[in-house]
Amino acid sequence: MVDSLRKSELTVNLPIKHGDLSLSQEVTNTIFSIMPFKGKHRKIASRLKEEFNIDLPGPNLRTFKGEVSIYWVGLDQWFIINSGDVDLFHLISDDAAITDQSDGWIKMSLIDTQNKDVLARLCPVQPIVETVVRTKLAGMMSIVFFTENGAELFFMRSMIESAVNEIEIAIKSVAAQKGANG
Amino acid sequence: MRISTVSLLDRSNQISFKFDGKRLFGYAGDTLASALLANNVKLLGRSFKYHRPRGVLTAGSEEPNALVSILKHGQLTPNLRATEVEIYNNLEVFSQNRWPSIKFDILRINDFLSPFLGAGFYYKTFMWPKSFWEKLYEPIIRQAAGLGRLSPVADNSKHEKAFAFCDILVIGAGPSGIMSAMTAALSGAQVILVDEDFICGGRLNSETFKVDGKAAFEWAKINVSKLRLMPNVRVFSRTTIVGLYDGNNYAGIQKVGEYLENPNEDLPDSVFWRIVSKKCILCTGAIERPIAFRNNDRPGIMMASAVRTYLNRFGVTPGKRIIVFGNNDDARRTVFDLQAKGVKVIAYVDSRKDVEKIPKVTSFINSVVINTHGVNLLSGITIKTGDITTFLKCDCLAISGGWNPTIHLTSHLGSKPIWNEAISCFVPQPKAVPDMEIAGAANGVFSTRMAMKSGVFRAREVLKSLDIKYEHIDVPETEDENYNCEPLWHVKGSGRAWLDFQNDVTVKDLKQSVQENMISVEHMKRYTTQGMATDQGKNSNVNSIGVMSELTGREIESTGTTTFRPPFVPVSIGAMGAGGSGKRFAPTRLTTSHHFNEENNAPSVEAGLWYRPNWFPKKGETSWRQSCDREVEMVRSKVGVCDVSTLGKIDVQGPDSAALLDFVYTNKISSLKLGKIRYGLMLREDGLVMDDGTCARLGSNHFIITTTTAAAGQVMRHLEFVLQVLRPDIDAQVISVTEQWAQFSIAGPRSRDLLNETCNEEISEETISFMSTLSVSIGDISACLFRISFSGEHAYEIAVPASYGDAMIRLLVSKAKKFGGGPYGMEALNVLRIEKGFITHAEIDGRVAAKDIGMLNMISPDKTCIGKAMANRPGLISDQREQLVGIKPLNEDEVLLAGAHIYCLDEAPKRVNNQGHVTSVCYSPSLKSSIGLALVKNGQKRIGEKFKMVDHLRNSEIIVNVTSPVFFDKTGSRVRG
Amino acid sequence: MRINCPLCGERDLVEFHYEGSSKLMARPKDENDMDAFHDYLHIRSNPAGLNNELWSHEYGCRAWLLICRDTNTHKILSIDLARDVKTKGSLD
Separation in Å, CA B140 to CA A152, B32, B57, B273 = 59, 32, 30, 40
DSSP state of A55: P
Q: What domains can be seen in chain C, in order of their start residue? A: 2-87 (3.30.2270.10)
What contacts B780, CB < 8 A, 6 or more positions away? Answer: A4
Are B418 and B378 part of one and the same domain?
no
What is the DSSP code string of B567-626?
Answer: -SS---HHHHTTT-SGGGGS--EE-TTHHHHHHTTPPEEEETTEEEE---PPTT--SHHH
pLDDT at B562: 85
pLDDT tens readout for residues B401-416: 999 999 999 999 989 9
Closest of B718, B614, B624, B621 to residue B665, by C-alpha: B718
Within its chain, how far is the Cα of B280 from the centroid?
25
Q: CA A101, CA A62: separation in Å to the nearest integer?
A: 17
pLDDT band, very low/low/confident/very high, at B48 (cuts 50, 70, 90): confident
A1, A7, A8, A80: which to substitute to probe chain B, counting the most B Cβ within 10 Å?
Answer: A8
Over residues B764-792, the mean pLDDT reads 96
Q: What CATH number does the domain containing B662 carry?
A: 3.30.70.1400
| Mean pLDDT score, B788-817 | 97
Contact C64 B721 (CB under 8 A): yes
We report the CATH number of the domain holding residue B377 as: 3.50.50.60
Backbone angles phi, psi at A11, to 5 degrees: -90, 0
Those chains having 3 or more beta-carbon pairs within 8 angstroms of chain B are A, C
CATH code, B795? 3.30.1360.120
Q: How far is B313 from chain C (nearest CA, A)?
A: 40
Which secondary-structure segment (H or E) carries A174? helix A160-177
For residue B738, the chain A residues in CB contact (below 8 A) are 104
Q: Does B726 touch chain C (CB under 8 A)?
A: yes
Specify whether B760 is located in the same domain as B745.
yes
DSSP B294: B
Helices and strands, counts by H and E, chain A: 4, 11
Tell me: the pLDDT tens digits for B238-267? Answer: 999 999 999 999 999 999 999 999 999 999
Per-residue model confidence as pLDDT tens digits over B183-198: 999 999 999 999 999 9
CB atoms closer than 10 angstroms to residue C18: 11
pLDDT tens digits, B910-936: 999 999 999 999 999 999 999 999 999
Q: Is the pLDDT of residue A132 over 90?
A: yes
Mean of the per-residue pLDDT values of chain B: 95
Task: Output the domain CATH number for residue B921.
Answer: 2.40.30.110
Chosen domain end from B540, B559, B578: B559
Which pLDDT value is given to residue B137?
75
Q: pLDDT tens for residues B288-344?
A: 999 999 999 999 999 999 999 999 999 999 999 999 999 999 999 999 999 999 999
Q: At what angle do helices B216-229 and B175-186 cross, to 10 degrees?
A: 30
Which of C7, C60, C91 lies closest to A135 in CB terms? C60
Q: What is the DSSP secondary-structure string of B736-790?
A: E-TTTEEEEEEESTTHHHHHHHH-SS--STTTS-TTBEEEEEETTEEEEEE---S
Alpha-helix residue ranges (DSSP H) falling in A35-127: 41-52, 88-92, 117-122
Same domain, B429 and B520: no
pLDDT above 70 (res A129): yes
pLDDT band at B109 (very low <50, low <70, confident <90, very high): confident
Among residues B371, B386, B402, the one where a domain terminates is B402
Calculate how close chain C gets to B716, using CA atoms only, in Å: 10
Q: Under a CB-based contact definition with an 8 Å cutoff, are residues B768 and B785 in contact?
A: yes
Higher pLDDT, B878 or B118: B878
Q: Do B442 and B539 belong to one domain?
A: no
Query: Which amino acid belongs to residue A181?
Result: N
The residue among C40, C57, C62, C83 with the most chain B CBs within 10 A of its CB, best to mutate, is C62
Among the three residues B402, B421, B437, which one is the final residue of a domain in this structure? Answer: B402
> Is B600 within a domain?
no
Shared domain check, B698 and B712: yes
Q: Band the pLDDT of B560: cuts 50, 70, 90.
A: confident
Beta carbons of A151 and A110 less than 8 angstroms apart: yes
Q: Looking at the complex, does the CB of residue A74 fall below 8 Å from at least one CB of chain C?
A: yes
Distance CA B170, CA B439 (A): 10
Are B717 and C37 in contact (CB < 8 Å)? no
Supply the pLDDT for residue B145. Answer: 67
Confidence of residue A182 (pLDDT cuts 50, 70, 90): very low
CA of C10 vs chain B CAs: smallest distance (Å): 10
In a domain, B489, yes or no: no
Find, in chain B, the residue whose alpha carbon is nearest to that of A116.
B164
Select the more confidently predicted residue: B162 or B130.
B162
Residues of chain C with C-beta less than 8 angstroms from the C-beta of B726? 25, 27
Chain A residues with CB-CB distance to B806 below 8 A: 6, 8
B499 and B430 share a domain?
Answer: no
Q: Return the residue in A44, A61, A134, A159 with the most chain C beta carbons within 10 A, the one to mutate for interface testing.
A: A134
The answer to whether the Cβ–Cβ distance between B735 and A99 falls below 8 Å is yes
Q: Do C34 and B868 touch (CB under 8 A)?
A: no
Same domain (yes/no): B174, B271: yes
Provide the terminal-to-terminal Cα distance of chain B, rounded to the nearest Å: 94
Is a pLDDT exceeding 90 seen at residue B575?
A: yes
Instruction: Look at A138 and B579 and tell me if their CB atoms are within 8 Å.
Output: yes
For chain C, which residues lie within 8 Å of any Cβ of chain B, measuring from their own Cβ? 1-2, 12-13, 17, 19, 24-25, 27-28, 31-34, 37-38, 40-41, 54, 56, 58, 62-64, 73-74, 81-83, 86-87, 91
Residue C91 touches partner A, C-beta closer than 8 Å: yes
Q: What is the pLDDT of residue B97?
A: 80
The alpha helices in B802-940, defined as continuous H runs, are 805-818, 826-835, 868-871, 874-877
Please, are residues B408 and B535 in contact by the beta-carbon 8 Å criterion? no
Distance CA B969, CA B572 (A): 59
Domain match, B899 and B926 both: yes
Whether residue C92 has pLDDT greater than 50? no
**What would the 3-class secondary structure string for B238-291 be?**
CEEEEEEECCCEEEEEEECCCCCCCCCCCCCCEEEEEEEEEEEEECCCEEECCC
Q: Do A2 and B738 touch (CB under 8 A)?
A: no
The DSSP letter of residue B190 is -
Which of A150-154, B100-104, B491-495, B938-942 comes out lowest in average pLDDT? B100-104
pLDDT of B215 higher than 60 = yes
| Structural contact between residues B270 and B159, judged by C-beta atoms closer than 8 angstroms | yes
Q: Are A146 and A110 in contact (CB under 8 A)?
A: no
- Flag whether B852 is in a domain: no
pLDDT confidence tier of residue B144, bands split at 50, 70 and 90: low
* ipTM tops the 0.90 cut: yes
Q: Which residues of A touch C59 (CB under 8 A)?
A: 134-136, 141
C-beta separation of B235 from B223 below 8 A: no
Looking at the fold, whether B932 and B956 belong to one and the same domain comes out as yes
> Closest approach of chain A CAs to the CA of B571, in angstroms?
19
Helix (H) or strand (E) holding B347: strand B344-350
Per-residue pLDDT of B171-181, as tens digits, reads: 999 999 999 99
Taking the Cβ of residue A156 and every Cβ of chain C, the question of whether any pair is shorter than 8 Å is answered with no
Q: Find the Cα–Cα–Cα–Cα dihedral B837, B842, B843, B846, rounded to 10°.
A: 160
Contacting residues of C for B873, CB less than 8 Å apart: 34
CB B678 within 8 A of CB B775: no
- B686, HSE (Cβ side, Cα atoms, 13 Å): 11
Write out the H or E segment, with its range, that includes residue B856: none
Question: Residue B76 is part of which domain span?
Answer: 10-111
Segment B652-671 shows an average pLDDT of: 98
What average pLDDT score do residues A129-140 get?
96
Which chain A residue lies closest to B199 (C-alpha atoms)? Answer: A182
Mean pLDDT of A109-120: 96
What residue type is B265 in one-letter code? E
Contacts of A59 in chain C (CB under 8 A): 7-8, 61
B247 min Cα distance to partner chain C (Å)? 5
Chain C environment of A125 (Cβ under 8 Å): 11-12
- Phi and psi dihedrals of B475, rounded to 5? -95, 120
Q: d(Cα B160, Cα B257) in Å, to the nearest integer? A: 11
CA-based nearest residue to B441, from B400, B483, B411: B483
For range B559-585, the mean pLDDT:
92
In a domain, B619, yes or no: no
B617-639 pLDDT, tens per residue? 999 999 999 999 999 999 999 99
User: Cα B179 to the chain's mean position, in Å?
Assistant: 35
Q: Is B608:B586 a contact under the CB 8 Å cutoff?
A: no
In the 8-state DSSP scheme, what is residue B228? H
Q: Which of B510, B355, B489, B490 is nearest to B424 (CA)?
A: B489
Q: Do C12 and A124 touch (CB under 8 A)?
A: yes
pLDDT over 60 (residue A179): no
Interface mutation vs chain A, best among B735, B737, B775, B777, most A CBs within 10 Å: B735
Q: Of A139, A132, A134, give the one whose Cα is nearest residue A163.
A: A139
Contact partners, residue B970, CB within 8 Å, separation at least 6: B964
* CB contact set of B404 (below 8 Å; sequence gap of 6+): B286, B287, B288, B289, B425, B426, B538, B541, B542
Contact B615, B602 (CB under 8 A): yes
| Pairwise CA distance, residues A91 & A36, whole Å | 12
The answer to whether B541 touches B68, Cβ cutoff 8 Å, is no
For residue A161, which residues of chain B lie inside 8 Å, CB to CB? 588, 590
Chain A residues with CB under 8 Å of B724 CB are 75
For chain A, list the contacting chains (3+ Cβ pairs, <8 Å). Answer: B, C
Confidence class of residue A172 from pLDDT cuts 50, 70 and 90? very high
Domain count, chain B: 7
Query: Given pLDDT bands bounded at 50, 70 and 90, which one contains residue A1?
Result: low
For residue C64, give the nearest of B720, B868, B872 by CB distance.
B720
Listed in sequence order, the residues at least 6 apart from B226 whose beta carbon sits closer than 8 Å to its beta carbon are B182
**What is the tens place of the pLDDT at every residue in B461-507?**
999 999 999 988 999 999 999 999 999 999 999 999 999 999 999 99
Is the pLDDT assigned to residue A180 strictly greater than 70?
Answer: no
Q: How many C-beta neighbours within 10 Å does residue B714 have?
A: 16
Q: Strand pairing partners for B270?
A: B159, B255
For residue B413, list chain C residues with Cβ-Cβ distance below 8 A. 73
Residues of B in contact with A99 (CB under 8 A): 651, 653, 735, 737, 740
Top residue of A135, A154, A155 to mutate, by most chain C CBs within 10 Å, is A135
Distance from CA of B165 to the nearest CA of A (A): 6
Superfamily of domain A16-27+104-177: Probable tRNA modification gtpase trme; domain 1 (3.30.1360.120)
**What are the chain B neighbours of A138 within 8 Å (beta carbons)?**
579, 587
Q: Is residue B946 helix, strand or coil?
A: strand
Residue B830 has pLDDT above 60, yes or no: yes
pTM of the model: 0.94
Which amino acid, B971? Answer: T
Same domain for B964 and B930: yes
User: B356: distance to nearest CA of chain A, Å?
Assistant: 44
What separation in angstroms does the CA of B881 have from each of B199, B852, B871, B899, B937? 69, 7, 13, 17, 5
Whether residue A131 is predicted with pLDDT greater than 60 in this model: the reply is: yes
Share of chain B above pLDDT 70, in %: 99
Question: C10 has which bridge partners?
Answer: C4
Looking at the structure, do residues B731 and B745 belong to the same domain, yes or no?
Answer: no
Whether B726 is in a domain gets the answer: yes
How far A51 CA sits from the closest chain B CA (Å)? Answer: 23
3-state secondary structure B133-189: HHHHHHHHHHHHCCCCCCCCCCCCCCEEEEEEEEEEEEECCCHHHHHHHHHHHHCCC
Closest-CA residue of chain C to A58: C7
C31 touches chain A (CB under 8 A): no
Same domain, B540 and B673: no
Query: Taking a C-beta distance cutoff of 8 angstroms, is the pair B64, B530 a contact?
Result: no
Among the residue ranges B95-99, B169-173, B338-342, B827-831, the one predicted with the least confidence is B95-99
Burial of B154 (0-12, 13-18, 19+ CB in 10 A): exposed
Q: Judge whether residue A71 has pLDDT over 80.
A: yes
